[in-house]
Structures are given as structure tokens and as C-alpha cells.
Amino acid sequence: MTSSRPTLAVAMVGHAFMGAAHSQAWRSAHRFFDLPLHPAMALVVGRDAARAAEAADRLGWAESATDWHAAVVRDDIDLVDVCTPGDTHAEIAIAALAAGKHVLCEKPLANTVAEAEEMAAAASTAAERGVRAMVGFTYRRVPAVALARRLVAQGRIGEIRHVRATYLQDWIADPEAPLTWRLDKQRAGSGALGDIGAHIIDLTQHITGDRLHEVSGQLETFVKERPLVATGVGLSGTASTERGSVTVDDAAVFIGRFAGGALGVFEATRFATGRKNSIRIEVNGSAGSLAFDFEDMNVLELYDAAEPAETAGFRRILVTEPTHPYAGAWWPPGHGLGYEHGFTHQVVDLVTAIADGTDPAPTFADGLQVQRVLAAVETSSDTRTWQQIPS
């Protein structure tokens, strides 16, 4: 069926894990939400022609190509979705913005603060011409997380005092797991800190409506060398007898203080044996608390300190009612959503903002602020000092 809405033609650069998740979102968003623009999956770009063509067929893109430089200046492309490793984010996004294309860029925004500053400046300039840019922190769009932000903004838990956030994985706990691009600082920027720590930094700042002001942290690389892969460093292939150096952190821990005075404790690791993708956020306020666990992602726990002691306790809210954020567009109450739905909600918010002529959140400026927190934690680990976050 042909849509009567104006078309938003999308080119996606990169088609691996994140590319598949983004493709699912572009396919489904307009089928469940009443969008002001109709997303058209026009082009997917990859380094290898055969693999890009296969990805286009499998993921639902109309065309494939291998040259992103040509893709971002095509007259028939309106938006560029950047799903590549961090070392290419700045070059692709800045070129696309200069060509007048809206941009969605995966997190973390860049590999360095300097790159992120260039990207934020390019986005600011582009916004003056009506061109929009957003960084993809999708976990903010889990309905339970969006509800947590709403409740904090309404004052339901009072003045924020404590924030606790962990992101735990174990996918490289085996010292013989191969050396992938995510373990190469040149390509990834950092390890657990930037890859998953960035998410909990953004989540806690988003939920509280406050920003980290200063941090003190430590990074650790538990396994210093790993086997290469015979087909090249990647997520698949035959293990080689050769080994290469791991140049990023395996784990990060840090404490921080928010501008409003709240204390924060953060942990991000790829060595939490038995934890596959465990994200937990708890916020304690003067009038109550909120807790979210991604392993039970359709639930938000709320504690109301005003309740009598004999009945007080954390209340389990099943966030699937039509009045809950995003949930009304999907299934009847009690029918839960999954990981992929956050990406769909991201597309919904981005497309709506573009049609409204407003900046979608999180902006590149928000991504830059997270990048500054990441850099401050790394500097703190190197110098064993507290680091303030520039405004």
C-alpha cells in the first residue's frame, strides 16, 4: 500500500548488529504509529558489495552500495543512519549534515571529545537550515524508563539523593574469545566504558533530568592479549594461533556527583560471568525510590515513602497500559515489548521531530556531554584524581 504522507528516504551505513536493529525499526515504525512522514528504506551501504546486497535483501532495503561518500550526497536521500564503528561516526555524520541530510548516529557519538565537538558544531549549524541530528541512546525509549523520567519530573520521589547504575555483560569473560574491533581503541574509542557505560550515563541523566558534574573512576583490562581471527579481526571466523593486544578497558567503575547534589555509583563490565545484558538503575529520592531492571524490562518498581509502614514496599508497575509511554501503539495490556521496540520508538521520535521542525532528543550536544563524562572517567583512572565535567 502506498502512503499518502510525504516520504523520508533513508540511507543506512553499516548493516551488522546495530544495522539489523535499526532496519527492524525503519520497517515497523510507520506500521504501528501514525507518523507524519513515511520512512522509505532506500539504501544500505557496506564495505563489501556482496554482503551489502545480501543485507539489503534480508533486511528490506531497496538498494545497496559500497561508497558512503556518494550515498550521503544523493538527491534522493533525506536521512543518513550511521551504524558503523565509532572511528567513522564523525566523518560520515559531518559529511551528511553538510549535504543537508538529517542524521541518526549510533552511540557513543564519537571516539574522542574533539570529534564529538566537531559533530555537535556541525549539527548546530545544520539546525539553522532545518536539518536535524540525533544520537541513538535507545534505552531511554523503553516504556518503563520513559515512565521513570515522567515520575521524577512530576516530583513523585522528591529530591534526588542517590543514583545507582550497572551495565553487566560477560561476552569476553573467556580469555580465548577472539580480538574483535570492539577491543581496538583506534576503532572503538574505549571498551566497556564507552560501549555500555555510555548507556547508563545517558539513562541516569535522562531519568533524573540532571547532569553529572564530577567523577572519579578506575578502568581495568583483565585480559591483555587475545587470539586473532584467521579471516581478519571480527566477530566470526576461525581462531588463529597469533595474538593481538587488547587496547581498551574490560571494566569501568566510577563514582560521581550530579549538578543538583545527588551522588552516583556506576559500573560497566564485560566480565560479569552469567550476565548477558543486565542493566539496572535505581534512583532514591526524599519521597521515594524508583528501580528498573532490563532483564524485566516491562516493569518499573516504585516505592512511595508516604505510605504507612505496615503496607509500604516497592510496588511492581507493569508498564503496558495505553497511558504508558509508547505502549498504546502496540498490544493489549499485559503483552510485553522487547529489545527491538526501543529502536522503533527512536524512529518515531526522530521522524516526528523532523516533521515538527524541532531538535530530536538526545541531540548531538547531549552526545557530546556524555563523551565528556567518558573522557573524564578515563582521565581520572589515569591520574587517580577527581575530574570535573565541562559545561
Nearest to 168 by CA among 285, 286, 59, 272: 272
Cα 321 to chain centroid, rounded: 25
pLDDT of residue 233: 41
Q: Is 89 helix (H, G, I), strand (E, B) or coil?
A: helix
pLDDT tens readout for residues 23-73: 999 999 999 999 999 999 999 999 999 999 999 999 999 999 999 999 999
Decide: helix, strand or coil at residue 225.
Answer: strand
How far CA 184 is from CA of 69, 179, 228, 230, in Å, comes to 24, 8, 12, 17
The secondary structure of 104-128 as a DSSP string is EEESSS-SSHHHHHHHHHHHHHHHT
Count of alpha carbons within 13 angstroms of residue 204, beta-carbon side? 36
Give me the count of residues in the chain: 391
- pLDDT tens per residue across span 252-261: 999 999 999 9
Q: Distance (Å, rounded) from C-alpha 57 to C-alpha 242?
A: 36
Question: What are the residue ranges spanned by the domains of the chain?
Answer: 7-138, 143-296+298-337
**For residue 281, is pLDDT > 80?**
yes
Give me the pLDDT at residue 241, please: 74
- Find the mean pLDDT for residues 270-281: 98
On whether the CB atoms of residues 64 and 44 are closer than 8 A, the answer is: yes
Considering the four listed CATH numbers 1.10.645.10, 3.30.360.10, 3.40.50.1970, 3.40.980.10, the one that applies to the domain covering 143-296+298-337 is 3.30.360.10
Q: What is the pLDDT of residues 298-313, one digit of tens each?
A: 999 999 999 999 999 9
Q: What is the mean pLDDT of the chain?
A: 96
- φ, ψ dihedrals at 163, nearest 5°: -130, 130
* pLDDT confidence of residue 266: 99
pTM more than 0.75: yes
Cα separation, 289 vs 150, in Å, equals 13
Q: Angle, nearest 10°, between helix axes 364-383 and 198-208?
A: 120
For 7-138, which CATH superfamily applies?
NAD(P)-binding Rossmann-like Domain (3.40.50.720)
Q: Looking at residue 328, what is its pLDDT?
A: 97
C-alpha 322/C-alpha 310 separation (Å) is 31
Give the mean pLDDT of 377-381. Answer: 98
Residue 235 confidence (pLDDT) above 70: no
In angstroms, how far is the first alpha carbon of the chain from the final one?
48
Of all residues in the chain, the percent with pLDDT exceeding 70 is: 96
Split at pLDDT 50, 70, 90, the class of 230 is low
Give the pLDDT band of residue 13 (cuts 50, 70, 90).
Answer: very high
- Percent of the chain exceeding pLDDT 90 equals 95
